[in-house]
Amino acid sequence: MIRVPMAESLIADRSINILVIEADPVILSGLITCLNRFPDLQVSAEAETGSSAWKILTDAVGKTVEIDLILLGLPLSHLPGELPWLEFCQQVKASYPNLPILLLVAPQSEDLTTAFQLEIEGCCLRGSSILDLVKSIRQVATGQASWMPEILQQVTIATESQVSNSLVSLRDRLRLASLQQIETTLTKLNANLNLDRLSAFDRLILTGRKRELNTARWLVKRIFPVQDSVSSTPSIDSRTPTALIVTAPNQTESSNLNPLAQTLFERIAAKLQSNLKNLTPITLEIDILRQEKKRELFYLILQQFEGLLDELRFAQVTTEQLAAKQATILQDLWTSVTTDFFGRYHTLSIADDPGDRLSQRHVEIIPILIQDAAIVQTEILAKIPQSIELLNYLLFKTPLTIDHHICAVGSPAAEDRACALLENLTIQMANAVMQPLLNRFGNLESMKAGFYDRRLLSSREIERFRNDLSWRYRIDRYIGEPQAIFESQYRLFIFTDYGIKRMAIYADRPAELAQLAGIPLVVTLALETRDALSPRLKSATTFFGSSIVYLLTEIIGRGIGLIGRGVIKGIGNIWQESNRSRKE
């Protein structure tokens, strides 16, 4: 039978009947032997699992088995079908609220806080002397609490840590929600500011609102700073980087990113929740991907870029070494993203003769895709602008130079520029990942089913898409890039609330201009010639145009007017004379 706790005066009259639960049979035997040596203690039942202990308790009701106290040693067995210790204690508290429980736990156990919150009567450390254990048993049997001081200290520290983490989590959620709302509004404002039909007054109002939102973003970041050891990233996608939030569908783990990099990841991850359609007239490799695959690839790139920052930081790379290793850094990032996106051991079945199934062979695609590293480096990676400036900004907090002005780290202008550079790097890296696939396996049905947009599934559409890409490379190589160099610009792809757009930033490029040769040089000369002749042609056109207008209006026009008046007057005289003749 189950009995209520005894009064201290009754302890000497009868023994305390104990149910000992211990998974280790050797320790169980030792406990039974030691406890039975004390005249007021009696081990009336024993068990090695929670399930068997619960059966003993239910069988003891109304029978001769007497149980005054449960001595429970942790941890219990975690085998399938066994009753966990926490569930066992909850059932005891629900069914036998007057039956006290004394836990026997290892130091630094993770179960201490849970046990304390469950209002377990006592807790004793493994390794304590048998006298301390007996003292705790006697106290718990009389209805007193018996928690050893060192255990209570651990529980207090753990509880304070939980409270602190809850406050930090609340702060991070407030920070994230505020920043996401500000970023969404800023994206819409920027889109409106890019409209050509916007009046000067409306543009002035929207510019003021943008300035206010930038100030609000700065205040939020100062009021709710990001801790270096805590990641405030929310959940967005299963492939979301650990710094992101920007976080989406799974909660990310803590990151070692500094607040500067964390802020950029949050901003970009928030933008990735919107439309990712290509709104530029330029064909991009990623246009062939479905929306969700495109988003997954962007998240993966941000995740790998985060890991790259950690590796560079831990390797203690200097600013000089960054410049020397630029090509290697970007190529390593491309390799890791390609491997993770398609799968390290992704194998395809390829038939040398489409009509013969026996000719099929199995190939791993990653080694084949990596063979195009030199082409990808030349065509895309080497042309990603200011990647070293971005790394220096994030790693060493180096100020950014924008339009000949040095912008301090963390300032709105510097953050906007760094965000644009990272967005462009993400989009161009995604293009670099897709380029070898389109060249090598563009028409395979398995790739179409797993990655392609449904509008680009037919062979005709794929070939048209690849031809558009080929022409884009030629136009960029011979016209677009020389023009950007000559105009001292970099053209960046960025994320907006409505899709991917393009923006231009100023950058002095004299060294690249001096290296132009062949057709690109001819293009710059043609542009210079046009710029030189255009004002003169406009002036000449204006002069001749004014002369022609003067001739038509002042000379010919007046002459036509005199003749016209004469004709009308003659017609009037004839009409009057005909009237007189009829009257006569």
Instruction: Give the tokens for residue 130.
Output: 């048998």
- Between 43 and 74, residue with greater pLDDT: 43
Whole-number mean pLDDT of the chain? 77
Separation in Å, CA 90 to CA 68, 86, 560, 583: 17, 6, 110, 130
Please give the pLDDT value at position 230: 35
Please give the pLDDT value at position 419: 93
Q: Across residues 197-226, what is the average pLDDT?
A: 74
- Between 87 and 200, residue with greater pLDDT: 87
- Beta carbons within 10 angstroms of residue 92's beta carbon: 23
405: part of which helix (H) or strand (E)? strand 405-407
Residue 540 has pLDDT above 70, yes or no: no
Name the band, by pLDDT with cuts 50, 70 and 90, for residue 168: low
Fill in the DSSP letter of residue 78. Answer: -
Name the band, by pLDDT with cuts 50, 70 and 90, for residue 547: low
Q: Across residues 44-70, what is the average pLDDT?
A: 80
Q: Across residues 135-145, what is the average pLDDT?
A: 86
d(CA 73, CA 28): 9
Residue 248 has pLDDT above 50, yes or no: no
pLDDT tens digit string along 526-536? 877 776 766 66
Residue 245 has pLDDT above 70, yes or no: no
- Whether the bond between 107 and the residue before it is cis, its omega within 30 degrees of 0, is no
Residue 234 has pLDDT above 50, yes or no: no
d(CA 492, CA 501): 8
Residue 394 has pLDDT above 80, yes or no: yes
Q: Across residues 416-428, what is the average pLDDT?
A: 94
Residue 159 has pLDDT above 60, yes or no: no
Q: Across residues 365-376, what is the average pLDDT?
A: 91
- Closest by alpha carbon to 212, among 178, 182, 177, 173? 182
Residue 573 has pLDDT above 60, yes or no: no
The strand pairing partners of 500, in sequence order, are 278, 495
Name residues whose C-beta falls within 8 Å of residue 233's C-beta, 6 or more positions apart in sequence: 176, 240, 241, 242, 243, 244, 245, 246, 247, 251, 252, 255, 262, 265, 266, 269
The strand pairing partners of 361, in sequence order, are 350
Please give the pLDDT value at position 110: 63
DSSP, residue by residue, 27-73? HHHHHHHHHTTSTTEEEEEEESSHHHHHHHHHHHTTSS--BSEEEEE
DSSP, residue by residue, 511-553? HHHHH--SHHHHHHHHHHHHHHHHHHHHHHHHHHHHHHHHIII
Single-letter code of the amino acid located at 264: L
* Percent of the chain that is helix, strand, coil (3-state, to 5): 60, 10, 25
Report phi then psi at 328, rounded to 5.
-65, -40
Single-letter code of the amino acid located at 352: D
Please give the pLDDT value at position 264: 87
Helix axis angle for 149-193 and 200-223, nearest 10°, is 170
Residue 278 has pLDDT above 70, yes or no: yes
Please give the pLDDT value at position 474: 86
Residue 337 has pLDDT above 80, yes or no: yes
Single-letter code of the amino acid located at 341: F
152 exposure class (CB count in 10 Å sphere: 0-12, 13-18, 19+): middle
pLDDT tens digit string along 63-86? 656 788 999 888 776 666 677 778
Q: Across residues 19-43, what is the average pLDDT?
A: 87
- Between 11 and 257, residue with greater pLDDT: 257
Domain residue spans in the chain? 8-147, 157-271, 314-484
d(CA 101, CA 572): 128
8-147: CATH topology:
Rossmann fold (3.40.50)
Please give the pLDDT value at position 507: 85
Instruction: Give the tokens for residue 385.
Output: 């602008």
Instruction: Kindly give the residue spans of alpha helices, DSSP state H, lying in 194-256.
Output: 200-223
Please give the pLDDT value at position 427: 95
Residue 239 has pLDDT above 60, yes or no: no
Please give the pLDDT value at position 130: 86
Residue 164 has pLDDT above 70, yes or no: no
Torsion-angle region of residue 340: left (phi > 0), alpha (psi -120 to 50) or beta? alpha
Residue 195 has pLDDT above 60, yes or no: yes
Lowest mean pLDDT among 151-165, 245-259, 318-332, 568-582: 245-259
- Beta carbons within 10 angstroms of residue 450's beta carbon: 12
Lowest mean pLDDT among 16-30, 187-201, 220-234, 345-359: 220-234
Residue 112 has pLDDT above 90, yes or no: no
As separate numbers, helices (DSSP H) first and strands (DSSP E) second, the chain gives 21, 14
Residue 160 has pLDDT above 60, yes or no: no
Report phi then psi at 147, rounded to 5.
-110, 125
Name the band, by pLDDT with cuts 50, 70 and 90, for residue 405: confident
Name the band, by pLDDT with cuts 50, 70 and 90, for residue 206: confident
Residue 10 has pLDDT above 60, yes or no: no
Q: Across residues 246-258, what is the average pLDDT?
A: 42
| Long-range Cβ contacts of 35-40 (<8 Å, 24+ apart) | 35/134, 35/137, 38/134, 39/15, 40/11, 40/12, 40/15, 40/16, 40/138
- Between 231 and 91, residue with greater pLDDT: 91
571-581 in b/e burial notation, b at 16+ Cβ within 10 A?
Answer: eeeeeeeeeee
Please give the pLDDT value at position 433: 94
- Between 486 and 557, residue with greater pLDDT: 486
Q: Across residues 249-253, what is the average pLDDT?
A: 36
d(CA 572, CA 465): 73
- Closest by alpha carbon to 171, among 230, 243, 215, 214? 230
β-pairing, 16-21 vs 500-506, is unpaired
Please give the pLDDT value at position 346: 78
Please give the pLDDT value at position 530: 73
- Beta carbons within 10 angstroms of residue 496's beta carbon: 18
Instruction: Give the tokens for residue 219.
Output: 């205040």
Percent of all residues in the chain with a pLDDT value above 70, rounded to a whole number: 71
β-pairing, 405-407 vs 400-402, is antiparallel
Name the band, by pLDDT with cuts 50, 70 and 90, for residue 207: confident
Single-letter code of the amino acid located at 348: L
Q: pTM of whole model > 0.75?
A: no
Residue 293 has pLDDT above 80, yes or no: yes
Q: HEC states along 79-141? A: CCCCCCHHHHHHHHHHHCCCCCEEEEECCCCCCHHHHHHCCCCEEEECCCCHHHHHHHHHHHH
Contact 381, 432 (CB under 8 A): yes
Report phi then psi at 339, rounded to 5.
-65, -45
**Dihedral of alpha carbons 464, 467, 471, 476, sign:** positive
Lowest mean pLDDT among 27-36, 144-153, 426-435, 464-473: 144-153
Please give the pLDDT value at position 3: 58
Instruction: Give the tokens for residue 144.
Output: 């007193």
- Between 500 and 364, residue with greater pLDDT: 500
Name the band, by pLDDT with cuts 50, 70 and 90, for residue 572: low
d(CA 140, CA 134): 10
Please give the pLDDT value at position 254: 37
Please give the pLDDT value at position 1: 56
Q: Which of 229-238, 402-411, 428-437, 449-458 tops mean pLDDT?
A: 428-437
- Beta carbons within 10 angstroms of residue 323's beta carbon: 11
Match 């609330």 to its residue by tokens: 497
Percent of all residues in the chain with a pLDDT value above 90, rounded to a whole number: 15
Name the band, by pLDDT with cuts 50, 70 and 90, for residue 243: very low
